[in-house]
Structure 1
Amino acid sequence: MAYTVNSSFEDFMRDSVNLDPERTTKARTSRNWLIHQIEELANNGKIPPLYNGTNHIFFGSFARNTKIRPLDDIDIMIMFDAQGCTTDDVAKKIRKTYPIYVNNPDAKLLSDYCDGNILNSRRMIEAIKKELGNIPRYSKAEIHRNQEAVTLQLSSYEWNFDIVPCFYTTTGFYVIPDGKGNWKGTDPRIDQNRVTQANQQVNGALLPAIRLMKYWKKEHWGDEVSSYLFENLMIDWANSLYSFPMTYPQLVKSALDGLSSLIMRDCYDPKGFQGSINDLDLYDRRRLAIMASQDASEASTAIQYEQNYMTEAAINKWIKIFGNEFPKYGKK
């Protein structure tokens, strides 16, 4: 029963925000099985050989532990052996493409996906998609190319897999498909390290804060702000604080104040490949900032109600901020 603001938030986090632990375990098992199948395809010569070593990278919000319900997508980068292929320049630059030249006559299968001697990322994705469809467990799954990934939509689970082929460069980052047949740079390790370091600075309090505020984003900002941009805004907010809020109400109030300011600014890709990842125009930035500011004011009122022992009124304010999934006073 929710008779206090804190218990309402705890119930909300457990029942509506955080992923169900059993489904998370099942998803990881399913992910590992998929990786094994991809390794078998490579071992059997159905797809190009994989990198000799760690041949996969988990990335995205599921890997960073910032995913909220529903568990709908899981991202995996599969690292292939470049087999002596080269590119013009492996310097890290903003919005650069990296053509991959297949100039090794002994390279297995890669030449099949070339335009001339340049590796076409769309053709490589299509080849992977075809071979995944031949795996018996995936015979009834929907498999399609989605920009930089092969998307595997399973009928037996609620989540999809986005499988992204990649190569590792000699200068320490990765190239992945850009959705147009070319290759672009990325390095998800930077994102992982950034959120891990920020989370450690506040003794593990940032990850649940990101998940809680992602729910707010879903209710108010929706898809206008990507999950990736939002995470970076939340990290910037946390890094700007002198001390991290100790209660859910103070956290939400502080985060909304921070978001109302941060959404107005450019937010630069920490990996150094995309420039600003906030592509909203000034009108939309202002509109979203006003939403956050208005809810920050509502949060302030809710805090005052709680301080005045008006618990039910305070909880009703939090329902206004987070929606009807937030537990009502006295309800399970």
Structure 2
Amino acid sequence: MNISSFVADITPSQVEIDQISTSWNAIRDTIKNWMDIVWDSFLTWSYKRKTKVSPIDDLDIFFNISAGNIVYEVLASWDFMLYAKSSIPYSEHSLREYLTYNSNKVRYELSPIKVLNAFKTRIKTAYPTTSGIVRNGQCITVYLSSYSLTIDCVPYMGVADEDFFLIPKWWVDLYWKKANPKIDEEKINKLNDVEHYNGKLKWVIKVLKYWNKYKNSGVSFKSYVLESLIYHALNKNTNYSLSYVEILKIALRFVYENVDVHRNIRDIPDYEYMYYDLDSIQKERLKSALSTLFDKLELSEDTFTTYLNS
């Protein structure tokens, strides 16, 4: 089997996408229609970038919280606190049930935990027989066993005149952090367009994500970290006319050389991933697995795809 046929096989079909859409639309409407603080939502990360492989087993939905009468304080380059304007009495504030009083700073602060718990309560009410509804760091995770599908529901607040959102910071209960998956999507789509790789970037991402998920046992990359490394590998290359195989080799070499580098697609420090540092043994295991994959590709496309399918 050539690699092009392999990619076609691991790309989600329209039937699969339609089935998944039914599930995420139901979850989205459950939150959006029953919580007056939520006024918009969108699908994001690899599903929206169309870099998922089949079967689709996880989705991410961002929910926009109304930011009326809320301002923010910058604590560090990535850390923020949101609090209510002092000119608005607590009893009249539209977000009062999600506020926590800070006696040291004499103000009411928007608690990401209270927002997340409200999401969880609403979903549990709508899905009383579903046990897999839990708070999972910066989101509420819903597991739908009928589809073997996990949906992460992430609240966010827009920031006026800025190119980022604020989402809960998963390891600090009252902090919010920067995020903007829409910029990631724009960068991936631009490098993948007809003037650049003409589809080959997403093709390579799918192949290596499949390997990472199904063949790379023991230790693997965080999916987003791997996708970011592939993006940076191919963003450095300017010969867009190379064959699929040669482009895949460029990506593999770069990932091998940067196996312990934590970068995101926007190429700015991503401190969250510092919590996933690999030890020396894990790094060597990843490098060994990457070397094996590269060797298979050097032999032939058929050897490479047979290995991935085995």
Q: TM-score, normalised by structure 2?
A: 0.83
Where does residue 65 of structure 1 map in the other structure?
A: 50
Where does residue 68 of structure 2 map in the other structure?
A: 83
Note if contact 2:49-2:185 (Cα within 8 Å) is conserved in structure 1.
Answer: yes
Where does residue 257 of structure 2 map in the other structure?
A: 261
Higher mean C-alpha deviation, range 33-42 or range 174-183:
33-42
2:198 is aligned with 1:215: no
1:100 pairs, out of 82, 86, 106, with: 82
2:128 is aligned with 1:139: yes
2:197 pairs, out of 199, 202, 205, with: 202
Higher mean C-alpha deviation, range 266-275 or range 23-32:
266-275
Provide structure 2 residue ranges, at least 5 long, that are not aligned to the other structure.
Answer: 102-107
Q: Give the C-alpha shift of residue 277 in structure 1.
A: 4.3
TM-superposition CA deviations, 1:26-82 (whole Å, max 9, x none): 21233233323322203xxxxx4234xxx1132111111111123111101100112
Where does residue 270 of structure 1 map in the other structure?
A: 266
Local SS of the residue matching 1:134:
helix
Q: Percent identity at matched positions?
A: 24
Higher mean C-alpha deviation, range 251-260 or range 275-284:
275-284
Where does residue 291 of structure 2 map in the other structure?
A: 293
Q: Give the C-alpha shift of residue 162 in structure 1.
A: 0.7
The amino acid across from 1:14 in the alignment is A
Where does residue 181 of structure 1 map in the other structure?
A: 173
Note if contact 2:72-2:81 (Cα within 8 Å) is conserved in structure 1.
Answer: yes
Higher mean C-alpha deviation, range 263-272 or range 57-66:
263-272
1:222–1:193 Cα change, 3 Å: farther
Note if contact 2:51-2:205 (Cα within 8 Å) is conserved in structure 1.
Answer: yes
TM-superposition CA deviations, 1:239-280 (whole Å, max 9, x none): 122324654444433332232223254535627462584733
Q: Give the C-alpha shift of residue 10 in structure 1.
A: 4.1
2:94 is aligned with 1:118: no
Local SS of the residue matching 1:77:
strand
Taking the aligned partners of 2:265 and 2:235, their CA distance within structure 1 comes to 16
Local SS of the residue matching 1:100:
strand
2:150 pairs, out of 160, 179, 182, with: 160
Local SS of the residue matching 1:68:
coil
Higher mean C-alpha deviation, range 125-134 or range 96-105:
96-105
The amino acid across from 2:100 in the alignment is D
**What root-mean-square deviation, in Å, do the aligned CA atoms of Structure 1 and Structure 2 show?**
2.6
User: Which protein, 1 or 2, shows the higher relative CO under an 8 Å CA cutoff with sep ≥ 6?
Assistant: 1
1:83–1:56 Cα change, 3 Å: same
Note if contact 2:232-2:265 (Cα within 8 Å) is conserved in structure 1.
Answer: no
Local SS of the residue matching 1:170:
coil
1:25–1:134 Cα change, 3 Å: same
Q: TM-score, normalised by structure 1?
A: 0.78
Aligned pair count reads 291
Taking the aligned partners of 2:11 and 2:81, their CA distance within structure 1 comes to 41
Taking the aligned partners of 2:19 and 2:142, their CA distance within structure 1 comes to 16
* Higher Rg: 1
Taking the aligned partners of 2:285 and 2:255, their CA distance within structure 1 comes to 12
Local SS of the residue matching 2:60:
strand
Greater fraction strand: 2
Taking the aligned partners of 1:86 and 1:126, their CA distance within structure 2 comes to 22
TM-superposition CA deviations, 1:113-134 (whole Å, max 9, x none): 3321122211211111111222
Note if contact 1:167-1:176 (Cα within 8 Å) is conserved in structure 2.
Answer: yes
Taking the aligned partners of 1:132 and 1:295, their CA distance within structure 2 comes to 42
